[in-house]
Structure 1
Amino acid sequence: MIKPKFPVDEQQRLAALRSYHLLDTLPEKDFDNITAVTANICDVPISLVTLLDADRNFLKSQYGLSLNETPRDISFCGHAILDESNIFIVEDARKDERFKDNPLVTEMNAIFYAGVRLVNSDGYPLGTLCVFDTKPRTLTKSQQKALVALAYQVVNLFEARKHNRMLLTAQAELEERNEELKHFAGIVSHDMKMPLANMIITSDMLRTKYGQLLDEQGRDYLDYIKQSSFTLSEYITGLLEHYETNKTAAFRSEVFDSQDMLEEIIELLNINMDCEINLPEENIEMQANKVALEQILLNLIGNSLKYNDKEKIRIDIDCREKDGMYYFEITDNGMGIPNNQLSKIFDLFVTNNTLDRNGKKGNGIGLSTVKKLVNRLEGNIEASSVLGEGTTVKFNIKKLD
């Protein structure tokens, strides 16, 4: 018997093998199906998917055999990975100097062997797809071609599992980062809102007590400090709402009337301007995440009020149910949005540099939060607009059981 040699790049090959995290894993149906098909095509009693580790040959899948691994120094696959031909064949191991007194031959009657290297995308042979028989034999050209093709599919499965594992790892890391960011945002909110409130109160106190001692510019500075504090406070609140959408979207569904909900939202907005809001004619008994839906509508109707330069504001709201979805449409006669900016309005921190009715600039958080909530409720959202005439926002959410 001749022990198989090690490849010159053995350490790199082992590193590549271990990056797939397949060693010592349980049997998997996808691989077992391939070994079963391989044995049937080649008309042999044994078929294996092997992974050649440092000192053993791990059997990822075995058909016709009950072993999990064999020593590397007696493995046929140790020789096969060194052979760069398409397929490594030993027709009668009893007559081959490399294998004639090998325990696999003398004790397990492994006479015939054919193996195809499982070469990964970086060119490293990880193991083999191989077949054994207890008698001397040959493979037909079509059997050899099928064995090579099936080995290619095994490698595809390796790569797919590695890719999925990487995606799951990346997802877990992103979730961890997101939790850290939400925690940080919570701390920032707590630590910054109190100083901001103090700044607002202090500016009011200074204006009351010392306003008569200040000139117009000084009083403007105090107003600027107060307004900037309000703006930053709103920004922090919006950011927190954005990162709390997962919790909001996780609230249980409840049954409620669409008309009652919309009337509650209008009351919450505390509208103190000339405004006509037309509600849907039909009242729908809805079953959905009411908390999330209210946040969506508060933001959208609020935008229709803020970004409106008309003397009389008009907002038309439509709501209907179809095929297990609730469809909403909100149309206003406001400022409108330029066409080249419509595709970006739902992106986080993106603004169109338009000042609202009170001369304030948005922070680009609200609509991003709305889209995130709509997506979490298994719906879609889109907007259309005519500059100077108004905007229509359409969205739908899934009816919940």
Structure 2
Amino acid sequence: MKKPDIPQNENERLKELRSLNILDSEQEKDFDELVELASIICGVPISLVTLIDADRQWFKSNKGLSTDSTPRDVSFCGHAINGEDVFIIENAVADKRFYDNPLVTDDPNIRFYAGMPIKSENGYNLGTLCVIDSKPKKLSETQIKALKILGGQASKLIELRDKKLKLESINEKLESLNQLNSQITSIISHDLKGPINSMRAYLNSNYIDANNPEELAQLFPLVKNNLNSLNELVENLLEWSRSTNEVNLTEVNVKETVLEICSLFEGNALDKGIELKCGIGDNLRVKADLAMIRFIMRNLINNAIKFTENGKVEVDIEKTEVHQAIIKVIDTGVGIPNDLLERIKLKDKKVSTKGTRNEKGTGLGLQLVREFLSIHKTELNIESEEGEGSTFSFALPLA
């Protein structure tokens, strides 16, 4: 048996194939009708739209076979993609390349094969439109011409499918941007005005004597809290706006990232008598967007410190059997009452509560954390008991 040769442009070809997001996709009527027509025209029981992956041929549409793929090294289509014309085997048992091929000696007992390469818009042979029979066969010139035309139609269907997916993606992004614009407008009109109006009210108040240092000193905690709240809100809004750009998935060293973020909060933890433990042991690497992971860790660690006094905040990580890393932020703080926990778990709700020292929050940070985790196809898990502390955790795939 002769294995198919690997095309010289194999790396580029595979990159093109995978960029189309068609491998392992659902069955589609247009492709099914194409193979049905090929089967009728050529008078054969089996017809396929195949796509040649690195080590398999996968069937986008399948008439007459009970499987959805076969190994590439025994495939007839693997040979066909090395040419530009219809690849025809009229009697496989009489051909030294195929007579001992397991697809010939065993089910589906191929004798006749004809496959027309399916070409991408950029000129790469992705797979074939092929017809198969368990009996030797010879196609007429009309049938060969029809197979060429149908192969061209399969190429066009893949192009149209790709353009449709891209248009859907653009529409989804536009819709997301419209929602983002509405949300930011709402936040600016409500949350941003709140701290500003609060400071203005006190500064313009007749209850404070500007010439009395003691009364002025009473304003400092208020101004500090409101400015911190404003700063947090602006940072979150900026981070949210950046998230509308393309996601950049890279290998992220979890230990390095956690230590970097924890160093930002050492002063806050010391001020509140908190033991901040971030000494993760293993140098695990996950596949994630580094900027988003930094934001997630900043928010979760900051929240843990906000709701803890004279206790402990710890970052832990576990490696699972399903090739994931579970990252946990654990605190011994005030915990979350059940009714508030239920509100927090309603993912479309923005909940803001004050910390142990009346630190204000916007509620936007947790909402963004969830959104960023959703982009990573994971979610935030929350476990908490009032008076005992809380654990916030999420999973990421190991790199």
Q: TM-score, normalised by structure 1?
A: 0.47
For normalisation by structure 2, the TM-score amounts to 0.47
